């Protein structure tokens, strides 16, 4: 029997953080690939546009599994996290890529599906932080900014991780209910079976599996 993994405002193990980031990347890739293969979804370029064109990192989880890819067009800014550590530079770069992939995916869902409020509900209203890449580009919403060279506020980081988990749950549940999408197991595959860390935010709410 596996020991449950928890991230809370009072503590976070590096192994659990890496497992969570690994889950974020693999869930995004999995959702995109599943949309491309879904029989009633019109577009078949979700993975190429929302994952392959953006992801530029390797993440090793605590078991040595590898997620991510290296962009041949941006080798200078490629980062690696894990299997035993993650630096501030790597964390910020990966978060920026997650923001970018997720916003791109939800914008594409709005344009391609019956429901047209994926981005409004699960990016704009949920990602209430900003993150800056090394070039000074900023993604996200609200006022708090994660930026290269700054450690950032620990509570804000945990609250952001909680929000990403909640957003993956919300989007996959929404895809299951969307009449433009044939399959109804997005949540089962890419939230319940893949986000295998529980995160409690500073308000005491918990998401994850």
Residue range 67-97, pLDDT digits in tens: 999 999 888 889 999 999 999 999 999 999 9
Q: Which of 28, 81, 23 is nearest to 57 (CA)?
A: 81
3-state per-residue secondary structure call for 145-198: EECCCCCCCHHHHHHHHHHHHHHHHHHHHHHHHCCCCCCCCHHHHHHHCCCCCE
Q: Which residue has the tokens 């529980």?
A: 198
Q: Percentage of residues in the chain with pLDDT exceeding 70? A: 97
Q: Where are the domains of the chain?
A: 9-208
pTM > 0.75: yes or no: yes
Report the alpha-carbon distance of residue 111 to residue 108 in Å, rounded: 5
Tell me whether strands 57-60 and 206-208 are parallel, antiparallel or unpaired: unpaired
Residue range 104-123, pLDDT digits in tens: 999 999 998 888 999 999 99
Residues β-bridged to residue 199: 7, 207
Residues sharing a CB contact under 8 Å with residue 33, sequence separation 6 or more, in sequence order: 46, 47
Q: What is the mean pLDDT of the chain?
A: 94
Q: Assign 1 a pLDDT band (cuts: 50, 70, 90).
A: very low
131's enclosing H/E stretch is strand 130-132
């Amino acid at each position: 029997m596996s020991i449950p993994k928890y991230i809370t405002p009072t503590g976070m193990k590096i192994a659990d953080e890496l497992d969570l980031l690994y889950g974020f990347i693999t869930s995004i890739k999995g959702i995109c690939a599943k949309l491309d293969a879904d029989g009633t979804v019109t577009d078949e370029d979700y993975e190429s546009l929302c994952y392959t064109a953006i992801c530029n990192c390797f993440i090793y989880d605590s078991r040595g599994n590898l997620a991510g890819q290296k962009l041949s067009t941006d080798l200078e800014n490629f980062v690696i996290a894990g299997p035993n550590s993650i630096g501030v530079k790597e964390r910020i770069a990966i978060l920026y890529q997650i923001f970018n992939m997720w916003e791109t995916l939800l914008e594409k869902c709005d344009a391609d599906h019956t429901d047209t409020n994926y981005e409004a509900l699960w990016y704009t209203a949920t990602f209430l932080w900003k993150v800056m890449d090394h070039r000074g580009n900023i993604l996200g919403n609200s006022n708090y900014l994660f930026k290269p060279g700054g450690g950032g506020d620990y509570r804000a980081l945990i609250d952001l991780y909680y929000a990403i988990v909640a957003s993956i749950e919300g989007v996959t549940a929404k895809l299951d209910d969307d009449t433009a999408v044939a399959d109804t197991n997005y949540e089962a595959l890419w939230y319940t079976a893949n986000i295998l860390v529980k995160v409690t935010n500073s308000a005491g709410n918990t998401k994850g599996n």
